[in-house]
């Protein structure tokens, strides 16, 4: 089967006006474009990078939802209230509760909406801070992000929705306290485009040293899992029209990234969700691997041992297709036995064998007496060969951003709605509190991407 290739439109085809203009072609922007188009709007998407998909391409675990048909089909009885409470707890009780309520209430509907668009997420895994398998992913167990972006682009190409790459929005046009369009730099020069509604879906600032220095100087030397374009451009565009930013100091460090080479790779939470453990240089566990990212990251940093090692076997590997990619680029160490693996990575072999034996007994008894882990225990580490990945914490996600309402409307510094301006996805703040739960960012892109499309259509019809 031929590989799908999406062809962006030429900048010469940019029209003078649209009903809705979307800044950013990641999961949020593409979802919003699809939804707004289906509600009858003339839509265009502008992406500064050559490649489309943004940070969504890097998402590997899944898309959280509760009370979904997929869960019921697999005998998992979940409820929205647990999803709400666990996300609130994970965010240090600092989440915007109205946004969180909308998010949780619309999560299962979003899975069904994707299914209606040929994007099936029918396999389930679990992420840190969650009590049930809520992370929906493709049946192939492939990384969710690339699958989602490809699926959305296929639909967008079918519907002939214009997407322009190498088109950097440099200014929001504001008239009479309302945003009425954009200025965009393209290969054929600077263009001014009028719009009834503008959506900022441009992602966070996890790859911006400048903004990290401003908001989290303690993290300025950390490597990042973000794509190079995650430099907070949308935040700057918003600030220039007096939008309010919130919780900007809340930056998530992901516990398991591979940072040994020139590039940084995120090792998805699904590896731990399917049964992997973390060990220190002595070959011993030191944390509940599926606690929140903040707690696990702090535990690894607290070792002062140049990171830690993720340990898993062939049985776990069979349930996480992303491992094939990690191995293909040389991140995975192999051992026919645990002793051989320990020798390969330089940890104490007797300790590693004892640690894995204790862990396997904990899995069989469904009781982790050492660290109280209760999830990601469907299988032990028993089936050779055995594998290890050297990991370090790295900047992963920026929870803060533009202050929005649950309807994705942007608020100004006095707390008033800026007419015609919307924001969704990582560029917005408030949903996650001080720590994002794994699997909630892809859910946010679809749930609030759809909401933005719906609200822009409502606004365009009324104005």
Strand (E) or helix (H) holding 294: helix 293-303
Q: How confident is the model at residue 11 (pLDDT cuts 50, 70, 90)?
A: very high
* Residue range 276-318, pLDDT digits in tens: 999 999 999 999 999 988 899 999 999 999 999 999 999 999 9
* Residue range 357-388, pLDDT digits in tens: 999 999 999 999 999 999 999 999 999 999 99
For helices 144-159 and 27-38, angle between their N-to-C axes, nearest 10 degrees: 30
Instruction: Clarify whether 293 is annotated catalytic.
Output: yes
Alpha-carbon distance of 169 to 409, in angstroms, equals 19
362 φ, ψ to 5°? Answer: -65, -40
pLDDT at residue number 109: 98
pLDDT at residue number 172: 98
Return the biggest CA–CA distance within the chain. 72
Q: How confident is the model at residue 1 (pLDDT cuts 50, 70, 90)?
A: low
> Running DSSP on this structure, what letter comes out for residue 398?
E
Cis peptide before 385 (omega within 30 of 0): yes
Alpha-carbon distance of 44 to 48, in angstroms, equals 13
Q: Which of 134, 216, 272, 293 is catalytic?
A: 293
The structure tokens listed for 93 are: 């009780």
Quote the pTM value.
Answer: 0.92
* Residue range 311-328, pLDDT digits in tens: 999 999 999 988 999 999
Rounded mean pLDDT, 32-61: 96
Q: How confident is the model at residue 222 (pLDDT cuts 50, 70, 90)?
A: confident
* Residue range 103-133, pLDDT digits in tens: 999 999 999 999 999 999 999 999 989 999 9
CA 226 from centroid of its chain's CA atoms: 10
Distances in Å between the Cα of 239 and the Cα atoms of 31, 141, 171, 444 are 24, 40, 11, 22
Q: Which residue has the higher pLDDT, 262 or 117?
A: 117
pLDDT at residue number 387: 98
Residue 52 near residue 222, CB atoms below 8 Å: no
């Amino acid at each position: 089967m031929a590989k799908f290739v999406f062809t962006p439109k030429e900048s010469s085809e940019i029209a003078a006006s649209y009903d809705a203009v979307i800044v950013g072609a990641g999961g949020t922007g593409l979802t919003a474009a699809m939804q707004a188009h289906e509600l009858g709007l003339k839509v265009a998407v502008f992406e500064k990078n050559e490649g489309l998909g943004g940070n969504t391409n890097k998402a590997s675990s899944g898309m959280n939802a509760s009370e979904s048909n997929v869960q019921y089909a697999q005998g998992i009885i979940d409820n929205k209230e647990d999803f709400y409470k666990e996300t609130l707890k994970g965010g240090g009780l600092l989440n915007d509760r109205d946004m969180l309520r909308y998010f949780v209430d619309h999560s299962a509907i979003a899975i069904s909406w994707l299914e209606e668009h040929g994007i099936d997420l029918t396999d389930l895994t679990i992420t840190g801070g969650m009590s049930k398998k809520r992370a929906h992913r493709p049946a192939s167990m492939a990384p969710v992000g690339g699958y989602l972006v490809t699926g959305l682009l296929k639909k967008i190409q079918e519907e002939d929705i214009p997407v322009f790459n190498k088109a950097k929005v440099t200014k929001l046009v504001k008239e009479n306290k309302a945003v009425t369009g954009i200025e965009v730099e393209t290969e054929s020069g600077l263009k001014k485009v009028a719009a009834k509604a503008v959506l900022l879906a441009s992602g966070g600032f996890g790859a911006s040293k400048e903004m990290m220095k401003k908001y989290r100087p303690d993290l300025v030397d950390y490597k990042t899992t973000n794509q190079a374009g995650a430099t907070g451009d949308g935040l700057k565009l918003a600030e220039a029209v007096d939008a309010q930013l919130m919780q900007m100091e809340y930056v998530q460090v992901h516990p398991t990234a591979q940072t040994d080479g020139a590039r940084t790779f995120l090792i998805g939470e699904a590896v731990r969700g399917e049964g992997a453990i973390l060990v220190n240089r002595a070959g011993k566990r030191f944390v509940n691997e599926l606690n929140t990212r903040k707690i696990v990251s702090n535990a690894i940093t607290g070792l002062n041992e140049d990171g830690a090692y993720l340990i898993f076997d062939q049985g776990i590997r069979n349930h996480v297709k992303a491992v094939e990619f990690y191995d293909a680029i040389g991140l995975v160490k192999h051992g026919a036995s645990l002793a051989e693996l320990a020798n390969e990575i330089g940890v104490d072999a007797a300790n590693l064998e004892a640690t894995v034996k204790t862990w396997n007994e904990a899995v069989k008894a469904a009781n982790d007496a050492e660290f109280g882990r209760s999830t990601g225990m469907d299988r032990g580490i028993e089936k050779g060969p055995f594998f290890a990945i050297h990991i370090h914490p790295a900047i992963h996600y920026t929870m803060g951003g533009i202050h929005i309402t649950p309807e994705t409307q942007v608020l100004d510094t006095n707390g008033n709605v800026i007419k015609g301006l919307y924001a969704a996805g990582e560029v917005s703040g408030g949903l996650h509190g001080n720590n994002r739960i794994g699997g909630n960012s892809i859910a946010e892109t679809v749930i609030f991407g759809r909401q933005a499309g719906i609200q822009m259509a409502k606004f365009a019809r009324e104005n």
